[in-house]
Amino acid sequence: MRDLPDQTSVQKFVYDFTEGNKDLKDLLGGKGANLAEMTNLGLPVPPGFTITTEACQVYLDSGDEPAALRSEVSAHLEALEQRMGKKLGEPADPLLVSVRSGAKFSMPGMMDTVLNIGLSDASVTGLAQQAGDERFAWDSYRRLIQMFGRTVLGVDGELFEEALEEAKETKGVTVDTDLGAADLKQLVKRFKKIVKAEAGRDFPQDPREQMDLAIKAVFASWNGDRARLYRRQERIPNDLGTAVNVCSMVFGNLGPDSGTGVAFTRDPASGQQGVYGDYLQNAQGEDVVAGIRNTVPLAELEKIDKASYDLLMRIMETLENHYLDLCDIEFTIERGKLWMLQTRVGKRTAGAAFRIATQLVDQGLINEAEALMRVNGAQLAQLMFPRFDEDAPVELLGRGIAASPGAAVGKAVFDSYTAVKWSRSGEKVILIRRETNPDDLDGMIAAEGILTSRGGKTSHAAVVARGMGKTCVCGAEELEVDTKRRRMTVGGTVVEEGDLVSIDGSTGKVYLGEVPVVPSPVVEYFEGRMHAGADDADELVAAVHRIMAYADRVRRLRVRANADNAEDALRARRFGAQGIGLCRTEHMFLGERREMVERLILADHDEERAEALEKLLPLQKKDFIELLEAMDGLPVTVRLLDPPLHEFLPDITELSVRVALAEARKDHNENDLRLLQAVHRLHEQNPMLGLRGVRLGLVIPGLFAMQVRAIAEAAAARKDAKGDPRAEIMIPLVGTVQELEIVRDEAEAVIAEVEAATGTSLKLALGTMIELPRAALTAAQIAEAAEFFSFGTNDLTQTVWGFSRDDVEASFFTAYLEKGIFGVSPFETIDQDGVGSLVRSAVAAGRATRPGLKLGVCGEHGGDPESVHFFHEVGLDYVSCSPFRIPVARLEAGRAAIESRGSDSR
Ligand code: ADP
Ligand code: MG
Ligand code: MG
């Protein structure tokens, strides 16, 4: 729970723009903090004040504004009135203000801004006289009633739009600027009637009442449905509240020498410096983005109003040099005078983030450490997905939420059954559903990508797709999905089952037809097929190269790969892996070797078993030789066999059918019968918690010894070949030190035998996984028998939570995420409080027993940005992850190192 603001001491709820600064975003919201910053920089900001988020928090907690708020607002309003030389809504010469919401994070679904507050039947004529422009005054008034009606009184905005359209039709004109004063006066009458009819009250004529109602409406909008949904999806806490900005009005709708615009200090797509933005003459507020008339590119402002243009360019430079980053800006020109209405550090694409960071270093604005902090692993991951060729002609169907990245192309299918059927016959399919549920799981697995028309980032489709690493776009609301008729419609286009569609999980875009895919230049670079130093190297690759090099220089955590074969190992090495943290040996027992494993399992007596193991030994040895060669000079951690044995046996139903059919034909297959018996014997209710890991090594004589021998002989062979093998042997699923001791003694004996036979000293490290709560809790004892620990955070998460991952992700994680039980799946980002605290204590206990204990992690969390920071902080030596995530882990390990240096030394 957030601490309640202390209401006994005198609390300040309102800050003038001159009192705040950019670091007060928690208190003043992003917009308010930056308005204050610009004011203090001496930039032309219309005067005003900000009501704090704390005032909003009181409102949210108690249902009422804090008692002191009204008088504080009055005091600030009076000061504003004095400064401006006019009073709010005064008939002869009214001061007008805007009431603008502004939370710490910009948030769709919050109340829109209301402009022109203070206008009334009385003051509209005063405004007309003061401005010498009757049309302008009535235009401003109709805008106020429209915005106020919609956002404060909750009137359907369409009604106003329709009335405006009608007015234009009656007059026979197409744009709003062609309506004259008389037309707008009529429109105001219409609008007031709409308000009365819909809201059941008159449009308030008292200017202060207008302002107070608008402020309250901003507070209340914090808890609007859309705002709540957005916060849940983006994991923004519910108790932050929003600030409210009251800002004196400036007018862009005072004729052709006025206007309003938006601008960026650099291109948010490429990072290039230049003139980026749009301008609209004779317009107010959001007209420029609302598309009511055609805007002109910002560069044209130079011709329209050179003085304002030049000033704007200077201000943009000031802002960049001050914020040391790309800024976006809202401005208005009132009769040739430029006003700044908003700025913030602007959003940018992943590619632009890397380019801008290095550009700013080159300009001497930031140092390399700061540049590293300007990018993140999620952005790097985005740059590594294959992408749709941007130059190809495309037909955009719609856009949804970018739920799980990637570029997927396939035939549209509208049910799981068809998805599975078609994919079995070799078709690529995109599964399209309104929403998915656990019944769709098979189809999701079969599909290249998943597209839904409903649901957000925590919907079933999104959660499961991310868990599977599968491309997903969800909540594409323009798409009408009709699963019964197996088609979807978008506008006039109908997409039938079997039509090709392409979905981009990084942008949320949905295309008709097959969009060609191009490999990511960043992956080409990591693969060594593109060189950052080459003359034609693209700027992005050069930027990634520089930032990666810096991250590598500063990081403490080493990064290893989870790889089972030489091919993966070599790729991992190219991607910067400093060893293998997890080689899963079970993958070496599949394919044609399965039969030997079957024989091993079916063996009735030691001889038969020894024979089977004998056959497996040379194959294993060969695998290890290849792996050790690929990773020559770097550590390779080999995990002994881990999965339950039934995974190597045929499927129980298939086998039963085979046996039954054979019996019917009276041909009796002894082997199948024995297999079936074995399958029954080995069947477990909870295989995850059954006979697996070290338990296998303890009950199947000779199994682990064979694996250890293969590793030792492979290492000896590599030494013989003048290589530098650094194999480490890792025992899985240990729960108690006794298990480890038995296996270790056996392994040491085997290693000694190989050493004696080959005449080489092998120095193979023996360690264990820590993946059961009991192992973590008894880490001090276990460290006596282990030279290293590798935290298996996948199993540890399963066993600490009592979750079976494959079951829970598909069945109830969506509900858990929606209820806010956790903000992200604990299989995606490590649960620091639970699983993480076991890791933390096991690290301390292990090191206390054995100071030189080497510590790593090999669960999938090893490649997750947030988790990498945690592993850095608890003091692990390395993280290990799949080859493709290695660059992300390297980058985040660098960021973690900078972060823990603290902000002062940056
Ligand atoms: P948003 O967060 O949606 O951008 P803003 O509060 O920035 O909302 O306001 C919406 C529009 O109204 C913007 O174009 C802004 O520049 C304009 N605007 C806000 N306050 C004023 C003002 N005091 N004078 C003129 N235009 C304003
Ligand atoms: Mg808006
Ligand atoms: Mg704005």
Instruction: Check whether 447 has a pLDDT greater than 50.
Output: yes
Whole-number Å distance between alpha carbons of 557 and 572: 16
Going along the chain from its start, the domains and CATH numbers come out as 14-248 (3.30.1490.20), 259-348 (3.30.470.20), 385-518 (3.50.30.10), 555-644+684-905 (3.20.20.60)
Q: To 5 degrees, how large is the angle CA 36–CA 37–CA 38?
A: 90
Chain segment 202-225, per-residue pLDDT in tens = 999 999 999 999 999 999 999 888
Whole-number Å distance between alpha carbons of 848 and 620: 36
Instruction: Judge contact between 5 and 220, C-beta under 8 A.
Output: no
Whole-number Å distance between alpha carbons of 106 and 102: 7
3-class SS of residue 179: coil
Q: Is there a binding annotation on residue 665?
A: no
DSSP per position, 606-637: HHHHHHHHHHHHHHHHHHHHHHHHHTTTSEEE
Tokens of 631: 């990773």
Q: Which residues neighbour 204 within 8 Å (Cβ) at sequence distance 6 or greater?
A: 210, 213
Could you tell me if the CB of 247 is within 6 A of ligand 1? Answer: yes
Task: Please state whether beta strands 788-791 and 854-857 pair in parallel, antiparallel, or not at all (unpaired).
Answer: parallel
Ligand 1 center–CA 99 separation, angstroms: 9
Q: To 5 degrees, how large is the angle CA 724–CA 527–CA 552?
A: 70
Q: Is there a binding annotation on residue 231?
A: no
DSSP state of 563: -
Could you tell me if the CB of 333 is within 6 A of ligand 1? Answer: no
Instruction: Enter the pTM of the model.
Output: 0.86
Instruction: Judge contact between 292 and 177, C-beta under 8 A.
Output: no
Could you tell me if the CB of 80 is within 6 A of ligand 1? Answer: no
- Average pLDDT, rounded, for the chain: 92
Q: What is the pLDDT of residue 417?
A: 94
Ligand 2 center–CA 406 separation, angstroms: 30
Q: Which residues neighbour 247 within 8 Å (Cβ) at sequence distance 6 or greater?
A: 17, 35, 46, 47, 48, 97, 98, 100, 341
Q: What is the pLDDT of residue 815?
A: 86
Q: What's the sign of the alpha-carbon dihedral 50, 53, 54, 60?
A: positive
Place of tokens 């943009």: 316
Q: Is there a binding annotation on residue 771?
A: yes
Ligand 2 center–CA 115 separation, angstroms: 12
Instruction: Judge contact between 638 and 730, C-beta under 8 A.
Output: yes
Q: What is the pLDDT of residue 171?
A: 92
Q: Which atom of ligand 1 has the smallest separation from the CA of 46?
A: 23
Q: What is the pLDDT of residue 698?
A: 96
Could you tell me if the CB of 330 is within 6 A of ligand 1? Answer: yes
CA distances from 497 to 224, 501, 505 (A): 38, 10, 21
Closest Cα to atom 7, ligand 1: which residue? Answer: 342
Instruction: Check whether 153 has a pLDDT greater than 90.
Output: yes
Instruction: Check whether 826 has a pLDDT greater than 90.
Output: yes
Q: 3-17, 302-316, 349-363, 425-439: which has the minimum mean pLDDT?
A: 3-17
Closest Cα to atom 22, ligand 1: which residue? Answer: 249
Predicted confidence band at 522 (pLDDT cuts at 50, 70, 90)? very high
Positions marked active-site: 460, 858
Cα-based torsion angle of the residue sequence 413, 418, 419, 424 in order, rounded to the nearest 10 degrees: -140
Ligand found nearest the CA of 114: 1
Q: Measuring CA to CA, which residue among 721, 719, 722 is closest to residue 754?
A: 719
Q: Which helix (H) or strand (E) holds 748?
A: helix 737-758
Chain segment 773-806, per-residue pLDDT in tens = 999 999 999 999 999 999 999 999 999 999 998 8
Whole-number Å distance between alpha carbons of 330 and 300: 17
Q: Measuring CA to CA, which residue among 397, 867, 98 is closest to residue 88?
A: 98
Q: What are phi and psi of 73, to 5 degrees?
A: -60, -40
CA distances from 433 to 11, 459, 461, 746, 793 (A): 52, 12, 9, 55, 33
Closest Cα to atom 17, ligand 1: which residue? Answer: 285
Chain segment 486-511, per-residue pLDDT in tens = 999 998 899 999 999 999 998 899 99
**Can you say how many angstroms the Cα of residue 815 is from the centroid of all Cα atoms in its chain?**
19
Place of tokens 């829970």: 808
Residue 263's DSSP bridge partners are 277, 329
Could you tell me if the CB of 342 is within 6 A of ligand 1? Answer: yes
Q: What is the pLDDT of residue 468?
A: 79
Instruction: Check whether 3 has a pLDDT greater than 60.
Output: no
Ligand 2 center–CA 113 separation, angstroms: 7
Could you tell me if the CB of 286 is within 6 A of ligand 1? Answer: yes
Ligand 3 center–CA 117 separation, angstroms: 17
Whole-number Å distance between alpha carbons of 463 and 457: 7
Q: Measuring CA to CA, which residue among 828, 820, 827 is closest to residue 805?
A: 827
Could you tell me if the CB of 278 is within 6 A of ligand 1? Answer: no
Q: What is the pLDDT of residue 9?
A: 60
Q: What is the pLDDT of residue 905?
A: 43
Chain segment 365-391, per-residue pLDDT in tens = 999 999 999 999 999 998 998 889 878
Q: Is there a binding annotation on residue 793?
A: yes
Closest Cα to atom 3, ligand 1: which residue? Answer: 112
In 446-579, where do the E strands start and end? 449-452, 471-474, 480-482, 487-490, 493-496, 500-504, 509-512, 517-518, 558-562
Tokens of 123: 């003051």
Instruction: Judge contact between 902 and 413, C-beta under 8 A.
Output: no
Instruction: Check whether 639 has a pLDDT greater than 60.
Output: yes
Three-state SS string over 204-262 comes to CCCHHHHHHHHHHHHHHHCCCHHHHHHHHHHCCCCCCCEEEEEEECCCCCCCCCCEEEE
DSSP state of 117: E
Whole-number Å distance between alpha carbons of 431 and 410: 9
Tokens of 469: 């690493």
Burial 318-349 (b: 16+ CB within 10 A, else e): bbbeebebbbbbbbbbbeeebbbbbbbbbebb
Whole-number Å distance between alpha carbons of 110 and 95: 26
Q: Which residue has the higher pLDDT, 132 or 237?
A: 132
DSSP state of 68: T
Three-state SS string over 437-466 comes to CHHHHHHHHHCCEEEECCCCCCCHHHHHHH
Q: To 5 degrees, how large is the angle CA 762–CA 766–CA 865?
A: 115
Task: Please state whether beta strands 558-562 and 878-881 pair in parallel, antiparallel, or not at all (unpaired).
Answer: parallel
Instruction: Check whether 2 has a pLDDT greater than 50.
Output: no
Predicted confidence band at 29 (pLDDT cuts at 50, 70, 90)? very high
Could you tell me if the CB of 585 is within 6 A of ligand 1? Answer: no
Q: Measuring CA to CA, which residue among 869, 867, 865 is closest to residue 898?
A: 869
Q: Is there a binding annotation on residue 223?
A: no
Q: Is there a binding annotation on residue 116?
A: no
Q: Which residue has the higher pLDDT, 22 or 238?
A: 22
Whole-number Å distance between alpha carbons of 696 and 894: 39
Tokens of 719: 């030494």
DSSP state of 97: E
Instruction: Check whether 21 has a pLDDT greater than 80.
Output: yes
Q: What is the pLDDT of residue 672?
A: 84
Cα-based torsion angle of the residue sequence 106, 111, 115, 120 in order, rounded to the nearest 10 degrees: -160
Ligand 3 center–CA 25 separation, angstroms: 15
Whole-number Å distance between alpha carbons of 800 and 184: 67
Burial 541-567 (b: 16+ CB within 10 A, else e): bbbbbbbbebbeebbebbbbbbbbebe
Chain segment 62-102, per-residue pLDDT in tens = 999 999 999 999 999 999 999 999 999 999 999 999 999 99
Instruction: Check whether 471 has a pLDDT greater than 90.
Output: yes
Q: Which residues neighbour 402 within 8 Å (Cβ) at sequence distance 6 or greater?
A: 473, 504, 505, 506, 507, 508
Instruction: Check whether 195 has a pLDDT greater than 80.
Output: yes
212 CB-contact burial (10 Å; exposed 0-12 / middle 13-18 / buried 19+): middle
Q: To 5 degrees, how large is the angle CA 10–CA 13–CA 19?
A: 105
Ligand found nearest the CA of 245: 1
Residue 788's DSSP bridge partners are 854
Task: Please state whether beta strands 48-51 and 87-88 pair in parallel, antiparallel, or not at all (unpaired).
Answer: unpaired
Whole-number Å distance between alpha carbons of 331 and 594: 70
